[in-house]
Amino acid sequence: MASSGSTTHVLCTALSALRLSSLLPWLAPPLLGLPTDPPPLTNARPCTMGADDSAHGASVASKTSPGSKAIAEAHEIGLDHDVPQFTVPVDSENKSKVLKIWSFQRPHHLSFHLSWMSFMIAFFATFAAPPMLPVIRDDLDLTKQDIGGAAIASVTGAVFSRILLGAVCDSYGPRYGHGVLQLLCASATFGMAAVSNSVGFIACRMIIGFSLATFVACQFWCSVMFTAKIVGTANAVAAGWGNMGAGLTHLIMPYILSGMEHIHPNFVAWRCAYMIPGSMQVIIGLAVLIFGQDLPDGNYGALRKIGKKDKAKTHMELLAAVKNYRTWLMVLSYGYCFGVELTVDNNIAPYLYDQFNLDLHLAGVLGAVFGLTNLFARALGGLLSDVLNKRFGMRGRIWCLWGVQSLGGVCSILMFYVDHSLGATMAVVVMWSLFVPMACGASYGIAPFITRRGLGVATGLIGAGGNAGSAVTQALFFTGANMTVAEGFLWMGVMILAVTATLGLLHFPMWGGMFTRGNPDITEEEYYSRDYTAAEREKGLHRAIMAWASESRSNRGFKEQLSKLSADLTTKANVANV
Amino acid sequence: MLRASLALALLALCGSAAATTYTQTYSTIQPATYTVSLGFNISGTVAPDPTPCTSFNTATSTCLPQVSVPDKDSVIITYSGPVTEGNTISIMTCFSNSSSMDRAWRKANAIIGKDKQCNVEKPMVKGLPTGEGTYTWTPGPNTPQSSYSIQVLEVVAGSNPTTYAAMGRSTGFFQIIPIDSRPSWLLGVVGGMCAVGPLTLAGFFVWEKMLKKEA
């Protein structure tokens, strides 16, 4: 198994998005463990981590390569490292071809469950404070600026840690990515119980927020464990279930606090309550390290030892992502779907508590609604993107993202106008909680197609953009004393609509954009090859992306593919007649 | 069908928590007809008529009587006003302006029922007789560290929504010294638990290295 950058793994998200449209009902075959049919459009294998991944300068172990000596020795002593056995159908890279969400089969499904659980616990710990804020703010004598600053800190740290963790996963594996992050951030979670002022509160929330970078490790891990046809499903489900941690913490922490209040005064009880998320982080961190496995074939260390894994080279991938304006458009856009989700997670429970004079439990239960819809809503966004892609190609994907994200903005605006009625507010929150995660899912239906060479960096930057967007929104609308929370929702909604309108600038030369048509004469191969220099193209390094480019042709949409097919057939017929 | 059921359950939950609509403002019960004076039982010493302090020095906090929750100090509230049969007196704490600044959850409101600066929805005591009376308030362990004054409201009997006939407010403020929310046992537990994560990680690396050596 050759090396793969984070590029390869997150590309599987997109490839599975391509596949999903041909697998309706999309969830049934993989979940039922039925074999999935090969894609109809091409025979190329899109998501290879072996010989095709020469973009990273990797090499496949062969009889003549240096790593093969170790394999040969392993064969001689009866250890068959080269042919692992699995209890699920796998492809040529030993990636699972099915997703059985009820299974803990090793290594694929156990890694899937460890991955989403780790991400969920990171969310649980990061957003444990908001549902207990009415108690915490009295104990620490916090002001609105302190609380806003802590909310900003909780999401800002992850901006950098998400970018960093892509490189960590590339070099050391997703297992260490999850484990190290959770075990180190757990110290800050426990440390929250000892803070005595706003400075300590803000610092702890920032360090705990680093754990949100487990999103990168989560997506990375799913991408290396599941084949291209279902990796989008696996990634969307894992990300959605992970995001659900914010809803769960709103639901559960008030009850943990209540339980502690039977024994201690409120100001001690909330500190004791923080032991729970801290302990969860330690447990999951250790579980990931002990029971997880980086790749289907084994852990990074073992594979390097027998020459089946090389280190990735990332500076050219970084350039490919950074110089593409589409990356930055999506960074901006994701900042106003996932960023909004993080902002609302920080503010909804205290808002309901203060605005409608609810008790802590009820505010937590109602606030949890926003996060809990991630159970299905994020995957729904990805599905909708795939469905529209099938008919309208990439233009359909962009319109889908624009549509659901704009509806999220409208809901945010409506929150201001219904601030007098709890029932109306919750009706808006329910709709809002669908559109925001759907926009997140739809975003990752577009992101993987921006660049092939810089895929991992691009998707990592976009993910970090979500946190950055939340930090900006929190600072602008929910930290100052002059603006109420309801007014903050109003202006946040206006900003969502304004930023979402920039999606009109997103244009792919071969696929078009919202208001522009694609040029059918420009091929996907040409577009993706632009990330390679002339010298690299001469060496043939760009050939690594050819299979991917071929697979991505489905973004032309049904009509265009049909007309192209017709034109090709006509040309062939003419040539034959001549 | 499932989604509709969940939506209905959610709306029912919201309905059960619907807030009452208040419209009466403080201006309807001005001028204040009740006088309120404070005495303090601090460390066992009763000061029935301390010099009221009307300016609060945030830096030194030296101007105000310091009422300590751990020492179980108490505030002796004496009110005096007209007697109205049937009506009752509610007494509540009011945050000072400095303790309400930049805290929207303690914002003053001209509408009595929505006033969060004075905890009108959560008075410390209800149902006291009108006219003259005394009440001793011992702040509980959940009392936030802030500076307060005391407000008295006369509640009209049987009114729904609650309406008020008269009010009074103490001059001067007092400061609450809260409980120690970080007892030494908690700090010890936190210190130990903070070390668990890094030690677990280090232990895992050592174990993994030992396994590799054996292999």
> Residues B2-34: pLDDT tens digits?
555 555 556 555 554 445 577 899 999 988 899
Asked if A365 and A349 count as a contact pair (C-beta separation under 8 A), the reply is no
Residue type, B212: K
Model pLDDT for residues A386-400, shown as the tens digit of each residue: 889 888 989 999 999
Residues of B in Cβ contact (< 8 Å) with A184: 197-198, 201
How far apart are alpha carbons A231 and B145 in whole angstroms? 53
Task: Please name the residue of chain B whose CA is at the shortest distance from the CA of residue A147.
Answer: B103
pLDDT at A326: 95
Torsion (CA) A103, A108, A111, A113 in degrees, nearest 10: -30
What is the reported pLDDT for B50?
Answer: 55
How large is the average pLDDT for residues B71-92?
A: 93
Please give the pLDDT value at position A234.
84
A289 chain-B contacts, CB cut-off 8 A: 204
- Determine the Cα–Cα distance for residues A404 and A382; give it in Å rounded to an integer: 11
Residue A64 pLDDT grade (very low, low, confident, very high; cuts 50, 70, 90): very low
CB A394 within 8 A of CB A385: no
Which of A201-205, A385-389, A465-469, A566-570 comes out lowest in average pLDDT? A566-570
The answer to whether residues A174 and A115 touch, using CB atoms and an 8 Å cutoff, is: yes
Residue B59 in contact with partner chain A when CB distance is under 8 A: no
Residues B105, A354: C-beta atoms closer than 8 Å? yes
Distance CA(A468)–CA(A335), nearest Å, equals 6
d(CA A457, CA A321): 6
Q: How many CB atoms lie within 10 A of CB B86?
A: 9
Q: Is the pLDDT of residue A20 over 80?
A: no
In tens, the pLDDT along B137-163 reads 999 999 999 989 999 999 999 888 889
Q: Does residue A33 surpass a pLDDT of 80?
A: no
Which of A182, A271, A288, A361 should we substitute to test contact with B (largest number of B Cβ atoms within 10 Å)?
A: A271
Please compute the mean of the pLDDT values over residues A557-564 and round it to a whole number: 69
Q: Which whole number is the average pLDDT over A209-232?
A: 85
More confident of the two residues A70 and B133: B133
Q: Is B211 on the interface with A (CB under 8 A)?
A: no
pLDDT band at A233 (very low <50, low <70, confident <90, very high): confident
Among B19, B196, B201, select the one facing A357 at the smallest CB separation.
Answer: B19
Q: How confident is the model at residue A458 (pLDDT cuts 50, 70, 90)?
A: confident
Instruction: Using an 8 Å CB-CB cutoff, list chain B residues near A299.
Output: none
B3 to chain A, any CB pair closer than 8 A? The answer is no
Q: Which of A157, A153, A177, A175 has the alpha carbon at shortest distance from A165?
A: A177
Closest residue to A268, CB basis, from B101, B183, B198:
B183
Q: How close is the nearest chain A Cα to the Cα of B183, in Å?
A: 8
Select the residue of B104, B179, B187 nearest A265 (Cβ to Cβ). B179
Whether B18 has its CB under 8 Å from any CB of chain A: the answer is yes
What average pLDDT is seen over chain A? Answer: 81
Q: In this model, does residue A271 exceed pLDDT 70?
A: yes
* A411 band by pLDDT with thresholds 50, 70 and 90: very high
State the pLDDT at residue A231.
Answer: 75
Q: Do A265 and B121 touch (CB under 8 A)?
A: no
pLDDT at B61: 57
- Secondary element (H or E) of residue A390: helix A377-392
> What confidence category does residue B202 fall into, taking pLDDT thresholds of 50, 70 and 90?
very high
Partners of residue A144 in chain B, C-beta under 8 Å: 102-104
Minimum mean pLDDT among A9-18, A172-181, A439-448, B38-47: which range?
Answer: A9-18
Q: What does the pLDDT read at residue A481?
A: 76
Residue A359 · residue B19 · CB < 8 Å: no
| Mean of pLDDT values over A560-564 | 67
A23 — pLDDT class (breaks 50, 70, 90): very low
B10 → closest Cβ in A268, A301, A430: A430
Task: Report which secondary-structure segment, H or E, holds B168.
Answer: strand B164-169
pLDDT in tens, A284-300: 999 999 999 998 888 87
Q: How many residues does chain A have?
A: 578
pTM above 0.80, yes or no: no
Q: What pLDDT, in 10s, does the model give residues A294-325?
A: 988 888 777 766 765 555 555 777 888 899 99
Is residue A445 scored above 80 in pLDDT?
yes
**Averaged pLDDT, A165-191:** 90
B107 at A interface, C-beta within 8 A: no
Mean pLDDT of B116-134: 92
- Does B52 score more than 90 pLDDT? no
Chain B: closest CA distance from residue A278 (Å): 8
Query: Mean per-residue pLDDT for A322-335?
Result: 94
